[in-house]
Amino acid sequence: MNHVVAVAHGGSFTKAAEMVGVTQSGITKSIADLERELGFAIFFRTSRGVLLTEDGRDFVERASRLLEDARSLLQGSRERGDPFAGPMRVGVCPASLEWLLAEPLANLLAHHSGIRYEIIGSSFERMIRLLRNGSIDVALGFDAAFAEWTDVRREHVATLQGVLFVRKEHPLASQKDVKSSDLAQHDFVAPSDSRPYGVVIRQLYESHGVDWRKHLHIIDNFSIVRQVVATSNAIGVATSEYAATPFFSSKFAAIEGVNPFTPAPLCCAVRSRWDPKPSVRAFLVEMRTRFRTI
């Protein structure tokens, strides 16, 4: 696993050999033996180095976590250190929800300085895979997306209301009685194709005989979403909290009269069969405290 992770980080067998202090032929044989044992290729070999396969990416993510946990375990055993010390891996799906972590993570670090954060923002499909195989410790996302996975335990932390917004000069910005048929005439920018937003937007288009594939953008970086909405007639999705800020009202307008989104519960999800470590339990407390009024 050390060799695999070194190749993934170094981008080539040569650099990996230098990193771990063995010969290149030793690294090459080690990886080939492991791929033969696993039954799938971890890397694509190219003239310029190596690239991870899809299966290889999953393997490297989990191997990296196991190696880091082993190092932390050995170090903790030697130092009898703080049980909160070491890495805490938090997944966020969609990544546009990362802003919700700012205050809880800052508060947690103030009380437990030994924690090392690894924050991963990605699609729900990748995040549930990372959570289930142990590559992350806890995931923040919409409860509706995690609900169908029986091996995941969910803890409610907040409920967010989605708000449709457009640039201030958009044709719908000044329209008083906006209908769903009006929405279906424009592009949408959604943070995720999974529940709750993706499903609702696809149904909106389909109910009016419109091919959603020609109109739906999936962008989970909110800075990019703002720019796309500000420079086009696309409709974006924001939270009611953001829509209440002065910055929002200076550049954008919330669409009045129609909103296909019901309030969306947010949850923190952990693996059912493993007890969360102390840092994760403390993180859950911080999340509940921060959002108990939302």
* Phi, psi (rounded to 5 degrees) for 172: -85, -10
CATH assignment of the domain containing 33: 1.10.10.10
- 3-class DSSP assignment, residue 51: strand
Cα 272 from Cα 270, distance rounded (Å):
6
Let me know whether 235 and 169 are in one domain. yes
Q: Model pTM?
A: 0.71
Q: Are residues 192 and 177 in the same domain?
A: yes
- pLDDT tens-digit profile of 82-141? 788 888 999 999 888 898 999 999 999 999 998 999 999 888 888 888 888 778 899 999
Chain centroid, CA 247 distance in Å: 25
Q: Judging by DSSP bridges, how do beta strands 235-239 and 188-190 pair with one another? A: parallel
Sequence-ordered list of residues with C-beta below 8 angstroms from that of 66, at least 6 positions apart, any chain: 1, 134
Q: What is the pLDDT of residues 136-173, one digit of tens each?
A: 899 999 998 899 898 899 999 989 888 999 999 999 99
pLDDT digits (tens, 9 = 90+) for 231-245: 999 999 988 888 999
31 by DSSP, 3-state: which? Answer: helix
**Tokens linked to 260:** 């296909």
In angstroms, the Cα distances linking 100 to 58, 67, 162, 197, 294 are 26, 29, 15, 18, 12
Which of the listed residues 57, 74, 101 is the one where a domain comes to its end? 57
Same domain for 125 and 201? no
Same-domain status, 134 and 183: no
Number of folded domains that form the chain = 3
Is the Cβ–Cβ distance between 95 and 221 less than 8 Å?
yes
Q: Which amino acid is located at 201 in the chain?
A: I
Q: Is the pLDDT of residue 75 over 80?
A: no
Instruction: Please indicate, yes or no, if residue 40 is contained in any of the structural domains.
Output: yes
Per the structure, the complete domain to which residue 103 belongs is given by 82-159+265-291
Collapsed DSSP state (helix, strand, coil) of residue 238: strand
**At residue 294, does pLDDT exceed 70?**
no
Inside any domain, residue 72: no
Domain boundary among 42, 57, 72: 57
What is the predicted pLDDT for the residue at 138? 96
Phi, psi of 271 (to 5 degrees): -75, 135
